[in-house]
């Protein structure tokens, strides 16, 4: 049963998630494209990460005590920039530059371009092995920060993901938390057709990880999963498998034929924003 | 009489870790491991990572000296490279070791994207470079230099002997950025102490002068070139040897100054395929500067190489001292 403080936290995070969705749609409208289906689906996870779970200083993105968030799936940059804006690391007016020449917000995330972007993702399957090195480094320095590696379910196809899964367990990396967005969509179609990965929880558990699988659009569940992953005493790496719905929050995009790259027609950007605004207005 | 009863010749072997030292040559054991242990005393940020090849890259010495700074990544080279990058991001200076074939071919995108794209301070030290094992193409890194040279911002080192390695270790540590160093391990020949030589990052060094031939070489081919120079001196052929331990960035100024001297045959000798190594780098530098001496390349063929004993293979592919001397005499005839 929810306590009043839980309810307050959920309402606060729902507001953050709404704003992250909104920023992502605004960026998508700038370019007339972008991975907005994924952004809408993953916004709740990003809201909990940046507005509840992680330690960071918005005005000092390289603060040594920060929790590291690695965007392995570089094409989720549109979602991530929205979260960085909501976290106060990137100014809101910069979203108009998304994907433009010489912008700090390129279409695929790169560490050398954007404050708060820890790695250059996009060559999928690289985030988790980098996270292993960072977690080893933090532990050696005695720095208690967590390393979060955020990845897509398509990256489960990459052998390097499993090299890193073995390595993280072997080295007992209790400061490593892996977040997997399971929307079951890859470039060539549903993941189950491209390269089936189930039973996924069993796979990670057999690799020596602490595993949770939750509905990534159920805020209380997402909050609880982050809290559990951070508070676990055992010296083992933790993974949270988030089942998410692409287009979440905009019913006509939720219902649209599922593709890696959801089509959005020009007038639909504003319609989607209006739907989000109405729903959030009603919830307040 | 049956041929089966005739005495069979003793067959040569193809040991994986064949020493490149010739019979009776002076050697130093594990110069890389020893140099790293010494340097790490003053540089606490140095960490060592390997992919199940500590013993075969001499990194085990570092692991014994600094167990808390040594990280075994298992036989997983993509993890090795990415984790080394991750540790560099946290302020450490990782020395990552494996065999050259795995460090370049297997893990290329991880070296390119994780390490080089962010200019991370990782030192890749990869054993069995070029043709230094008889195990066939699975272990022969005949194209490693071509691969790493193509990566923007990568410094590429091909040391000649134990002295070169001993001096290169602190030099590459003093350089902030990714480095690929070809590693000679085990009992490594000692040659350069007989010359007025010191390793300097980015510098080519003239080891001996000569009026007939300019041999430009790196790695073990510098050792061979010095032997060729001595052998040809007996035939009144005067051979200069320019050692180029830094393949990238190339010391174009020194190379051009030497190659511009008229009347000398210029030969680039490399333990690497003809494609994309020192020979092509030197040729490009010469043509770009409008310097066009008579030019030849001694290198491995653009082919999958045979398995066999190293001396056999080095003769077969023309990079043994005898084969080189013979080839050069043909060119001079």
- What's A89's domain CATH number? 3.40.50.970
Locate the DSSP E strands across chain B.
27-29, 46-50, 70-72, 93-99, 123-127, 155-157, 179-183, 187-189, 205-208, 213-217, 239-243, 246-248, 265-273, 295-300
Packing angle between helix B321-332 and helix B220-233, nearest 10 degrees? 60
Are the C-beta atoms of residues B116 and A123 closer than 8 Å to each other? no
| pLDDT given at position A168 | 98
Which of the residues B41, B77, B200, B258 is marked catalytic?
A: B77
Task: Kindly state the average pLDDT of the residues B47-58.
Answer: 98
**Which residue among B68, B71, B78 sits closest to A160, beta carbon to beta carbon?**
B78
Distance from CA of B82 to the nearest CA of A (A): 5
Q: Are residues B148 and B228 in the same domain?
A: no
Kindly state whether residue B168 falls inside one of the protein's structural domains: yes
* Residue B23 pLDDT level (bands cut at 50, 70, 90): confident
Task: Kindly state the average pLDDT of the residues A138-143.
Answer: 98
| pLDDT given at position B1 | 47
- What's B74's domain CATH number? 3.40.50.970
Indicate if the pLDDT at residue B102 is higher than 80.
yes
Task: Report yes or no: B26 at the A interface, CB cutoff 8 Å.
Answer: no
Angstrom CA distances, A44 to A4, A12, A154, A281, stand at: 20, 12, 20, 17
| pLDDT given at position A4 | 65
H or E segment to which residue A202 belongs: helix A200-206
- Is the C-alpha dihedral spanning B157, B161, B163, B166 positive or negative? positive
Task: Kindly state the average pLDDT of the residues B71-93.
Answer: 98
Residue given tokens 């659009």 in the structure block? A217
Q: Which residue has the higher pLDDT, B5 or A216?
A: A216
**Which residue among A137, A159, A170 sits closest to B74, beta carbon to beta carbon?**
A170
Give percent of chain B with pLDDT exceeding 70: 95
Residues of the domain holding B135: 27-189
Q: Which of B72, B90, B92 should be substituted to probe chain A, the one whose Cβ sees the most A Cβ atoms within 10 Å?
A: B90
**Which residue among B69, B74, B85 sits closest to A167, beta carbon to beta carbon?**
B74
| pLDDT given at position A193 | 93
Per the annotation, the verdict on B77 as an active-site residue is yes
Q: Are residues B110 and B183 in the same domain?
A: yes
Size of interface A-B (CB pairs under 8 A): 95
Distance from CA of A161 to the nearest CA of B (A): 9
Q: Are residues B64 and B156 in the same domain?
A: yes
Task: Kindly state the average pLDDT of the residues B33-50.
Answer: 98
Q: What are the tens digits of pLDDT across the range B124-135?
A: 999 999 999 999
Determine the Cα–Cα distance for residues B164 and A7; give it in Å rounded to an integer: 67
Distance from CA of A129 to the nearest CA of B (A): 5
pLDDT mean across residues, chain B:
95
Distance from CA of B76 to the nearest CA of A (A): 6
Do the chains contact at B118 and A111, CB–CB below 8 Å? Answer: yes
Q: Which residues of A touch B (CB under 8 A)?
A: 111-112, 118-120, 123, 125-126, 129-138, 140-141, 143, 159-160, 163-164, 166-167, 170-171
pLDDT mean across residues, chain A:
95
Nearest to A70 by CA among A174, A150, A158: A150
Q: Are residues B236 and B303 in the same domain?
A: yes
Q: Are residues B183 and B208 in the same domain?
A: no
Indicate if the pLDDT at residue B172 is higher than 80.
yes
- What's B274's domain CATH number? 3.40.50.920
| pLDDT given at position B31 | 98
Write the DSSP string, B272-302. EESSSSHHHHHHHHHHHTT----EEEEEE-S
Q: Are residues B109 and B227 in the same domain?
A: no
Q: Which residue has the higher pLDDT, A10 or B5?
A: A10
- ipTM confidence: 0.95
| pLDDT given at position B16 | 61
* Chain A residues within an 8 Å CB radius of B91: 137, 141
Task: Kindly state the average pLDDT of the residues B75-96.
Answer: 98
Q: Which residue has the higher pLDDT, A29 or A259?
A: A29
Q: How many domains does chain B have?
A: 2
Q: Are residues B149 and B245 in the same domain?
A: no
Do the chains contact at A141 and B117, CB–CB below 8 Å? Answer: no
Q: What are the tens digits of pLDDT across the range A170-217?
A: 999 999 999 999 999 999 999 999 999 999 999 999 999 999 999 999
* Residue A73 pLDDT level (bands cut at 50, 70, 90): very high
* Chain A residues within an 8 Å CB radius of B89: 118-119, 130, 133-134, 137
Residues contacting residue B156 through CB under 8 Å, at least 6 positions apart? B145, B148, B149, B179, B180, B181, B246, B247, B248
* Chain B residues within an 8 Å CB radius of A112: 117-118
Q: Are residues B64 and B207 in the same domain?
A: no
Write the DSSP string, B247-264. EES--HHHHHHHHTSTT-
Q: Are residues B71 and B47 in the same domain?
A: yes
Residues of the domain holding A142: 4-283
Kindly state whether residue B8 falls inside one of the protein's structural domains: no
Q: Are residues B70 and B181 in the same domain?
A: yes
Nearest to B319 by CA among B294, B293, B299, B291: B299
Do the chains contact at A135 and B84, CB–CB below 8 Å? Answer: no
| pLDDT given at position B22 | 82
Nearest to B47 by CA among B113, B106, B118, B123: B123
Q: Which of B40, B51, B75, B83 should be substituted to probe chain A, the one whose Cβ sees the most A Cβ atoms within 10 Å?
A: B83
Q: How many domains does chain A have?
A: 1
Q: Are residues B33 and B70 in the same domain?
A: yes
């Amino acid at each position: 049963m929810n306590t009043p403080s839980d309810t307050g936290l959920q309402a606060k995070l729902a507001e953050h998630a709404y704003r992250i969705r909104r920023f992502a749609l605004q960026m998508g409208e700038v370019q007339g494209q972008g991975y907005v289906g994924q952004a809408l689906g993953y916004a709740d996870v990003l809201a909990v990460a940046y507005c509840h779970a992680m330690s960071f200083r918005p005005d000092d993105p390289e603060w040594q005590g920060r929790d590291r968030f690695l965007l392995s799936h570089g094409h989720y940059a549109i979602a991530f920039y929205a979260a960085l804006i909501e976290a106060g690391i990137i100014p809101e007016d910069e979203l108009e530059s998304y994907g433009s020449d010489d912008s700090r917000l390129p279409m695929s995330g790169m560490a050398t371009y954007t404050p708060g972007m820890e790695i250059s993702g996009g060559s999928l399957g690289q985030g988790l092995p980098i996270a292993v090195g960072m977690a080893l480094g933090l532990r050696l320095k005695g720095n208690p920060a967590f390393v979060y590696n955020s990845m897509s379910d398509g990256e489960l196809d990459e052998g390097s993901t499993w090299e890193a899964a073995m390595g993280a367990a072997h080295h007992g990396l209790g400061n490593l938390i892996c977040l997997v967005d399971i929307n079951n969509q890859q470039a060539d179609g549903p993941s189950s057709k491209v390269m089936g990965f189930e039973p996924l929880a069993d796979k990670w558990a057999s690799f020596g990880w602490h595993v949770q699988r939750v509905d990534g659009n159920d805020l209380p569940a997402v909050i609880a999963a982050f809290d559990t992953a951070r508070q676990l005493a055992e010296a083992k790496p933790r993974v949270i498998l988030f089942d998410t719905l692409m287009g979440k929050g905009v019913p006509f995009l939720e219902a649209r034929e599922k593709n890696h790259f959801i089509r959005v027609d020009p007038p639909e950007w504003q319609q989607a924003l209006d739907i989000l605004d109405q729903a959030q207005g009603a919830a307040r | 009489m049956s041929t089966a009863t005739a005495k069979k010749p003793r067959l040569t072997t193809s040991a994986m870790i064949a020493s490149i030292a010739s019979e009776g040559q002076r050697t130093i054991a594990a110069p890389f491991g020893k140099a790293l242990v010494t340097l790490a005393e003053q540089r606490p940020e140095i960490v060592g990572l390997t992919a199940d090849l500590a013993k075969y890259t001499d990194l085990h010495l570092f692991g014994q000296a600094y167990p808390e700074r040594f990280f075994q990544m298992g036989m997983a080279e993509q993890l090795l490279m990415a984790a080394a990058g991750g540790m560099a991001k946290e302020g450490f200076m990782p020395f990552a070791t494996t065999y050259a074939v795995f460090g370049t071919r297997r893990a290329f995108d991880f070296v390119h994207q994780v390490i080089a794209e962010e200019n991370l301070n990782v030192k890749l030290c990869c054993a069995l470079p070029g043709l230094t094992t008889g195990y066939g193409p699975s272990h022969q890194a005949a194209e490693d230099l071509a691969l790493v040279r193509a990566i923007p911002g990568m410094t590429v080192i091909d040391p000649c002997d134990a002295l070169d390695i001993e001096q290169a270790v602190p030099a590459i540590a003093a350089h902030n950025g990714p480095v690929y160093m070809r590693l000679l391990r085990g009992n490594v020949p000692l040659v350069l102490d007989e010359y007025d030589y010191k390793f300097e990052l980015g510098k080519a060094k003239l080891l001996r002068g000569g009026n007939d031939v300019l041999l430009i070489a790196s790695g073990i081919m510098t050792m061979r070139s010095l032997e060729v120079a001595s052998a040809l001196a007996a035939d009144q052929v005067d051979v200069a040897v320019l050692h180029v331990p830094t393949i990238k960035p190339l010391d174009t100024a020194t190379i051009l100054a030497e190659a511009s001297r008229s009347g000398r045959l210029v030969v680039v000798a490399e333990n690497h395929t003809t494609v994309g190594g020192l020979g092509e780098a030197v040729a490009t530098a010469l043509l770009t500067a409008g310097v066009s001496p008579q030019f030849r390349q001694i290198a491995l063929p653009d082919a999958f190489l045979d398995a066999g004993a190293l001396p056999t293979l080095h003769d077969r592919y023309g990079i043994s001292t005898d084969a080189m001397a013979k080839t050069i005499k043909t060119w001079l005839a």
